[in-house]
Structure 1
């Protein structure tokens, strides 16, 4: 009999964001890889199948891991500045959490489709993601990839040089985690 709920956090896996750069001076900018270091997911079970998923992440846990591209490497000071700019764009003090609530979980080839609501920057939008699930024997491996638009949630991407270089509208999100079987 499966547990009635699982709780997942960064000890089970990671949630990464990857930004792009756009504008006439884009070659000078860095594509950032960002880790969200404080998040929690709850998976509710019914009849041996997942029935609902809730993911909450703390916006202030944003950590810039690296910057690819650009004229030169990203220094520690620049990582701090990129973090600060991202927190300002997301208005982290006013909107400290990002949430995804899926109240519809449907089995699909290789996993589940999670359908529900994504809330960022105080705005909610319907959202579905496909979660790949792999049986590793003693554990389950879960993974998904998605793209989120700043524009859809009223977030103005950070820009420099009067807009000649700015963070691209779309952000790639990747999640993977493992959980022991009951």
Structure 2
């Protein structure tokens, strides 16, 4: 009888250990964007004949995921609208004005993912809610998980991602005084980032 009870206790202990190991293996992990190795850029066509590039210099981005391939990843992003930079001060000041981003009234752009679907090896379709100029719209972008390696500077893991997609500025009320022949309605987005595990 005692041997039987001992066997039951051992079996229970093993099941408990397996459950604990499984829980640890699938625990949510948080990753923060490394500002020195991350960039959010956009491209818009001017007068139908040239592309103008710009970026946002101040932002915070976070990933929460349990799977090592980030197939269950959730993304959040907050951008300082006033940090827009197209390398022309006069144009940047105009973009900050009420004609475009109206940064005094709407100081932040935000994105919060709502779903992620596989689209090939380490490729995903990332859906979420994007808020610009006080308007929130659902968007779907292409996400490429580029891999993970050890960061020699802080002995932590770093994961790389690239996010690309196209949005329409008219959906968010950006620059309504400037028609598509002057400034394209479609704006191409590309975000490249290194995320450090916390």
TM-score interval (norm. to shorter): 0.7 to 0.9
Scaled by the length of structure 1, the TM-score of the pair is 0.76
In structure 2, runs of 5+ residues without a counterpart are 1-24, 151-157
Counterpart residue number, 1:176: 192
- Paired residues for 1:41-52 under 5 Å: 41-48=61-68, 49=70, 50-52=72-74
- Residues of 2 paired with 1:164 and 1:32: CA distance? 14
Counterpart residue number, 1:152: 171
The counterpart of 2:59, out of the listed 39, 43, 56, is: 39
Partner SS for 1:19:
strand
- Paired residues for 1:52-63 under 5 Å: 52-63=74-85
1:105-155 alpha-carbon deviations (Å, 9 max, x no partner): 233313332211111111111111121012264343210211121111111
Conserved 8 A contact 2:41-2:54 = yes
Superposed displacement of residue 180, structure 1: 4.8
Whose strand proportion is higher, 1 or 2?
1
Superposed displacement of residue 164, structure 1: 10
Are 1:92 and 2:103 matched, yes or no?
A: yes
In structure 1, runs of 5+ residues without a counterpart are 66-78
- Residues of 2 paired with 1:155 and 1:141: CA distance? 30
Whose helix proportion is higher, 1 or 2?
2
Conserved 8 A contact 1:41-1:53 = yes
Distance 1:9 1:39, change over 3 A: farther
Q: What is the number of residues matched between the two proteins?
A: 161
Counterpart residue number, 1:123: 135
